[in-house]
Chains A and B, each alone.
Chain A
Amino acid sequence: MKALPALATGLTLLVAATGCQKEEITTYRVAKEPVPASPSPAATPAAAPAPAPATSGTTGASMANTPVATASGNALVWTAPPGWTAKAAGSMRKGSYAVKGDGGEADMAITAFPGDVGGDLANLNRWRGQIGLPAVGQAEFDRETQHLDRNGLHMTVVDIVGTGTTAQRILGAMVPHQGATWFFKLSGPDALVAREKKAFLALLDTIKPAAPAK
C-alpha cells in the first residue's frame, strides 16, 4: 500500500490548486471596433415598447430615450435621468424605472389610457388614496397642482406626501395627448422621492411627441 500516501498527496495538491486561481492583468492587441451600422437601441426612433432588461446579463439599463406607441398611433418620448434603472415595462406600463437610494427604492411608472380617465381631480384622489390621504374637492385640487407647458404639451403636476413615520410620497404628472392621458408617477419613501424631485422635473422637460413612424 505504498501508493496510498502518494495518491493522497497528489489529490490534496489537485484540490488545493482549485483554490489558487488568481486573476491577472492581461494585455492584447485587437483590431479597432467598427462603428455600429444600425443606431444603438437608445437612439432608435421607431415606435417600440419600452425597453425590458434582457435576461442575459444586460440588465441595469437606464436613461433610455424611450419611444412608446399608443393605441392611437402617436406616442410621447422622454429621457430618463442617469441613475434611474429601466425595468421591464410589463403589459400595462409604457415605461418603468427603479430609483434606488439610501432609504429604499422608488418606482417610476409611465402609463397611458384613452380619454381623461375620469378627470384630473379623480386621478389626484386616486393617488391620494394610494398613500392613505382622504379625497379632496376642486378647491384643494387647484391649490395642490402646478401647471407646466413643455414642448407643446400641458402638464398637471402634483406632489403629495402621506402621513406617519414611513410616509410615502407621490410625484405625478398628467399629460393629455392625442385623446389619451399619460401618467408619469414617481412613488416611494418621502425622503427619496423628495431628493429625486429635481430629476423628475428634468424628465418632464424632456417629454415630447415622438416623431411619426416611417
Chain B
Amino acid sequence: MTQRDFLLPDVGEGLIEADVVTWKVQVGDRVVLNQVLVDIESAKAIVELPSPYVGVVVALHAKEGDTVAVGSPLVTIEGEIEETPATSEKPQREAVLIGFGVAPEGDAPTTRTRRSTLAPSASRVDSPSTPTVSTGPASAVRAAPPVRQLAKQRGVDLATVNGTGPNGAITREDVERAVPNEATTAPKSPSVATRFVGRELASWDEGEREERIAIKGLLKVMADAMTESALSAPQAALWVRVDVSATVARLASLRANPAYADLRFSPLTLVAMAVVDAARHFPGINSFFDAAANEVVVKRFMNLGIAVNAQRGLLVPNVKNADQLDLLGMARALTDLSDRAREGKTTPEEMANGTFTITNIGPFGIDGAIPMLPLGTGAILCVGSVVKSPWVVDDQLVVRDVVEISMTFDHRHIDGALASSVLAHIAAYLREPPNN
C-alpha cells in the first residue's frame, strides 16, 4: 500500500492557485484512473481534475471554497502500487517557459523520473473484492453517496455515527438521529456564516491584525457589476407594505396538495408570478437603457433573474422565458434554479441575459432593502420577510401577514409614475392572488 498525494497542478499556464468548487469523491471512496475527483476554479476557468492514481481516497486536504496553492496537496490516494521511496517527497515547483514545472533536484534535470516507475499494467486495483476499504486507516465508514450527501447537509461527521444498515452501513435514519438538536433550528447552512468576506474569529486575538483578501472570482464579479451600476445608472427606489394573508393561505393550500409534493412553494413563487403579470401590463419596466445605441430596449419576453445566496457567493441566474410559465411551471423552475445554484451547477449561460431581477431577503429575517440595479435591466424588486403585524381592516386592528416589497429602477427611462404603477400592481396581485 502506498499513499500518494495529488498535488494541485498548474492547469492554466502560469496559475499560482485555484479554489476548490466541488468535491466529486469523499474519504473512503475507491477511484479509478482518470475518474473526476474535484472541480476547481482558477482565474481562467472551472475545470475537472481527473485522478492520476487508482486506489482509495484517504484524505481531502481542502474544503469546498478553500483556495489551494499550485503544488500543494489536494487529495491523498492509497493504492496498491510498489514505488520507489522517493515518491513521497513533494517536489518543489518553479517557473519554467510555459507555466510551472518541477524544480531540478540539485543540478540534475531529471526530476520527472520520480513518477516514472508507475507501471500501468499493475495499476488496476479496481476489483470490488480488493479488501482495501476495511484496511485503510481513515476509510472505515460505510455509507452510500446519498447518505454522505445528507450527512454533509446536516453537518454530521459520519465517523461518529454507528451504522445500523447491512454490514454496519450508515443509513439515512442513522444520520437523522445523529443531527445535533440545535442544528435543526440554527441558521440554515453552516457554510453560510463562513463564505462572507472575512473569516469568523474564535476570539479577537486570533491571527494577524489584518486579513487581506484578493478581489477575484465571484467577489470581483460582484464588485465590478455594482460599481458600474452605481456609476452608470441614476437609480431611484420606492416601497410598499402589503397584507399578503391571502397569498400565505394560497401557499398553504398548494403545499398541502399531495399532487404537488415534489414542488417547493414560497412567497417568491407568487411574487414571480406577480412580476410577470405586472410586466405584461407595464412592459416599460422589463427594459433597459442602451446608452451606446441611444435607445431604450423593451423586451417582449422575461428572463426573470433571482439573486441566490450560493456557497460561492452571490449568484443571479435567471428563469428563461418566465412569461411562458404557469404557477406550477414557475415553482418547478425556481426550485430547479436555486438547487442548481446551491449545488454549484449554475452555468454562465443561466446567468446571462436576465431582463428583470428579484432579490428575496426574507429568509434572512430582514424587512426591506433598497437593492442595486443589475446591469442591462431596468428594475429590481426586493422582497422582505413575511411577518405577523398589526393591520387595520375596516377600521379594526387585526393581525395579518405583512411583507414589505421595494423596487429600484433606472430613472433615466423609467419615471416614478411607471415604477409606482408596477409596484402597486404587484402589491395588488399579492393581496388577492388570482386563481390560476
| A and B together in one complex | no
Residues of B within 8 A of A (CB): none
Binding site for B on A (CB under 8 A): none
